[in-house]
Amino acid sequence: MRTFSFKIDPLTGEEYYEVYARGRQLLNDPHLNKASAFTPEERATLGLDGLLRSAVTDLDAQVDRAYEAFQHKPDDLEKYIFLVALQDRSEVIFYKLVTDHLKEMVPIVYTPTVGTACLQMSNIQRRFRGIYITPENIGHIDQVLQNITLPQVSLIVVTDGERILGLGDLGSDGMGIPVGKVSLYVAAGGLHPHVCLPVCLDVGTNNQRLLDDPFYLGYRQPRLRGEAYERMVETFVMAVKRHFPDALLQWEDFGKGTAFKNLERYRDRILSFNDDIQGTGSTAIAALMTAMRIKQHRFSDERYMIVGMGQAGTGIAMNILAALEAEGLSREDAASRIFAIDMQGLLVDDDPALDAPQRPFAQRRAAVSGWTLEAPGRIGMMDVVRNARPTVLVGVTAQTGLFSEQVLREVGQATDRPIVFALSNPTSKCEATPEQVWKATDGKGLVATGSPFPPMEWNGRILRSSQCNNMYIFPGVGLGALVAKASKVTDGMLLAASRAISGMVTPEQEAQGLMLPPMEDIRRASTEVAFAVARQAREEGLGRLADDAELRLLIEKAQWTPHFVPYRAG
C-alpha cells in the first residue's frame, strides 16, 4: 500500500523519494504532491506531463500565494477549513505556511478554533485523515493498520472522542483534535509528518444531538462501555505494539475514568503518556515555577484552589503536590495546601463518592469543620475563597466567567501577586479573561489562560498573560522520548520538561507578567524540552547512553523543516 519510500543516493548522498504513484494518484496524495513545484524531469517520469500548468514555482512562492488566500478568509472557521484543505492537498506547503506564521496559525489549527470545527466536523470535513477503528473493524485490526500508506509510524495520537476540550462527547467528530495535535508535533516539535498518525477509536457516542443528526459520519451507536470497551482498547494497543513497536502513543481527550485507567494500565507496557493529565500538569507547573521566581516565593508559601477535578485539574494537583513534597513537606502537609473543588464542592476525605485519583487531594473534615459556610452541608467555591484565602486559582471547568469579580478581588486581597490560571478551552469557556483579572486585582494578577489573549496597557505599562497550552510540553516530550529511544515516559522526564520551559522565560518577560516563553519561541522550546527529556531518560537508565552533545546533535538531525525533496520513479 505504500506510495513512496525514503532513499539516499549511495554515490551523492542526496536524499530523495522513490515514488510508486503516478499521475493523478500522485497529485491526489498530500504526502507527495508538490503542486507546481514538480520539475520538468519529474513531470516526464512520473506521468504528470500535461496534468499541470506550465509554470514551475518553488515552495516559497506557493506559500506566499496560500498566505494571501488565507488572509482573505472572513472568519477563523473559514481559515481552519482553508488550512485543512491545503493540508489535504500538500502537507509540505501546509507545514511551511504554518511554521512561517506559527503564532498566527496555532489558534486556527488548534485551540480555540479546532473546538468550533469539531462541533461541525461532519458538515465541514472533505477528506478523512488518519484511521478510524470501530467495533465493526476491530476484529481485523491488522488489516486496518496495513491500509496505512505511511512508510513509517513513530508517533500515534489517539482519542475516543468522549471529552473533546470543554465540549464533551463529540464521537468521531473529535478526530479534529488528534489531527490538530499531529500538526503541532510537526510544526512545533519538528517531527516528520510522514511518521505521525492520528487515530480515532470510534466506539459510538452518547451525544443525542449527533445520534439524531442525519449527517453525522461516525459509528451511530451508544458509546461502548465496560469489558467490551476495554477489550477493544487492549486489542488496539497490542496491534500497535506488533506493527509499530518503537512508536510513542499519546492518549488524547478520553473521558476521565478511562483516561486514568488507560494511563496506568499501559504506561509501563508501551511508550505512552496522556497529554490531558500529564501534559497539562507539566505546563501548569512550568508556569508556576516562573511565578515563584517573580514573587520570590516557594511553592509552600502559596495556597492553591483548583476548581474542576477532571483529568486536567487532577494532573495539575498531582504536580503541585510533588512540588510541595520536593520542598520538604510531608504528604499530609502538602495536601493541606491544596483545595480541590468539583461539582459537589470541596473534596473532603469522608465523602464516599470520591474516586481514586481525587482522594489524595481531599481535605480532612476536621480541618474545615469550623468554617463559616454560605449554605450548611456544602462547601462551595466562595466558602473556600473566604476561609482558606487561596493565593493561586486554577480553573479547568469549562464554566464561562466562573471566577467572578468578587472572587478575584478577594483573592487579590490575600496576596500581593495573585496567580490566576483560567485554563478552559475554547475561549468561550474561559473562567475569566486576563482583562477581568487585571481590573479586579489592580493590575497585579499573574494570569495564564488556555487560549491566547491580547496584552493590556495598565498605568503606563504593558501586561501580558501566558497561554498555558500543552503545546509547550507534548511536542518536545514526544521528540525527546523518540530520540532517546526511551522505554517509557516517566514523571521525572515530565518534571525535566517543566524546568526547561520555565528556564526560558527572561527577566524582561517576567516583568510583563509572562510565565511561559512567547509562542514565537515554541520551536526552540520544543527543542529544549526534547533535550531535557532525552537527558533525563539517560539518567534514569531508560534511554540511549549518549552524552549531552550527542543528544543535541541527534535532536537536531531528527527535526524536520518543510521542504521539497527530489523524486525518482520507483
Q: Is 252 annotated as a binding residue?
A: yes
Closest listed residue to residue 303, CA positions, set 363, 365, 380: 363
DSSP string, 364-381: PHHHHTT---SBTTB--H
Please identify which of the residues 181, 256, 429, 488 carries the catalytic annotation.
181
Of 536, 524, 450, 471, residue with least CA distance to 279:
471
Omega of the bond leading into 112 within 30 degrees of 0 (cis): yes
Distance of CA 563 to the CA centre of its chain: 25
Instruction: State how far the Cα of 530 lies from the Cα of 122, in Å rounded to an integer.
Output: 36
CB neighbours of residue 376 within 10 Å:
6
> According to the annotation, is 78 in a ligand binding site?
no
The annotation status of 469 as a binding-site residue, yes or no, is yes
Residue 181 falls in the annotated catalytic set: yes
Annotated catalytic residue: which of 110, 216, 304, 567?
Answer: 110
Q: Cβ(469)–Cβ(521) under 8 Å? A: no
Q: Tell me, yes or no, if 110 is annotated catalytic.
A: yes
Between strands 272-274 and 304-307, the pairing is unpaired
Is residue 14 a known part of a binding site?
A: no
Closest CA to 468 of 435, 407, 432, 515: 515
CA separation for the pair 33, 235 (Å, rounded): 34
Integer Cα distance of 315 and 367 in angstroms: 24
- Taking CA 166 as the corner, what is the angle to CA 415 and CA 164, rounded to the nearest 5 degrees? 140
Q: Is 425 annotated as a binding residue?
A: yes
Instruction: Say whether 276 counts as a known binding-site residue.
Output: yes
Residues annotated within the binding site for a divalent metal cation are 252-253, 276
**Any idea which residues carry the catalytic annotation?**
110, 181
Binding site, by residue number, is 163, 252-253, 276, 425, 469
Binding-site residues for (S)-malate, in ranges, read 163, 425, 469
